[in-house]
């Protein structure tokens, strides 16, 4: 085995409250704690997209917010935009747009992205600042802290913290190894 999974475990089990793609019964669940403004998260995104395409029937991918507020001034707004889009059934569309446009995550840009994916903009703007959206983000952050997340991106493979490289080859190997041993 060429990847490294430590014994740190995911403190909050994956459930219906999560944003996920892939079968619930998948052999492998990959959970990512991420920050839309984090350049490392942006760099990891193509690898995640790649492994999702290659092993889509075997993989369930879960995204959780972990905005690094001190380092990234627009991270919380971006997370709120994704969550608000999710209330209109378009979380993944917004998720992808945010990573494609990491250098433009100010409020005006977020509203443009909302319009681009067909959101009801007045509702979207209000939802971005709503208590339920901010509470959901805080739940993700709290769960990440309890799971030992210290930075982004942080991955968990089948509930165990993954410490390997975020490149496509390493991530794919780790996920395929996890599928064989599950």
> What CATH architecture applies to the domain 5-181?
3-Layer(aba) Sandwich (3.40)
> What's the rounded Cα separation, in Å, for the pair 135 and 179?
33
Domain boundaries, the chain: 5-181
Place of tokens 């993944």: 92
Place of tokens 């681009």: 116
Both tokens assigned to 4: 């490294």
Per-residue pLDDT of the chain (182 residues; tens, 9 = 90+): 444 445 689 999 999 999 999 999 999 999 999 999 999 999 999 999 999 999 988 999 999 999 999 999 999 999 999 999 999 999 999 999 999 999 999 999 999 999 999 999 999 999 999 999 999 999 999 999 999 999 999 999 999 999 999 999 999 999 999 999 98
Q: Which residues pair with 82 in a beta bridge?
A: none
> What's the rounded Cα separation, in Å, for the pair 111 and 81?
8
pTM score, whole prediction: 0.94
Residue 38: Cβ within 10 Å count: 21
């Amino acid at each position: 085995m060429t990847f490294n999974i430590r014994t740190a475990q995911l403190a909050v089990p994956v459930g219906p409250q999560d944003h996920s793609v892939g079968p619930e019964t998948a052999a492998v669940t990959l959970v990512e704690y991420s920050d839309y403004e984090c350049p490392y998260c942006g760099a990891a995104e193509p690898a995640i997209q790649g492994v999702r395409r290659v092993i889509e029937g075997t993989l369930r991918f879960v995204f959780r917010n972990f905005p690094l507020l001190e380092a990234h001034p627009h991270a919380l707004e971006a997370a709120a935009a994704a969550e608000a889009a999710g209330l209109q059934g378009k979380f993944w569309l917004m998720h992808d747009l945010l990573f494609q446009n990491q250098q433009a995550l100010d409020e005006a840009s977020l509203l443009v992205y909302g319009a681009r994916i067909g959101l009801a903009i007045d509702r979207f703007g209000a939802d971005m600042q709503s208590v339920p959206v901010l509470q959901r983000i805080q739940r993700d952050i709290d769960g990440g802290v309890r799971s030992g997340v210290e930075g982004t991106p942080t991955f968990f493979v089948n509930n165990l913290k993954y410490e390997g490289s975020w490149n496509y080859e390493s991530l794919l190997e780790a996920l395929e190894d996890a599928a064989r041993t599950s």
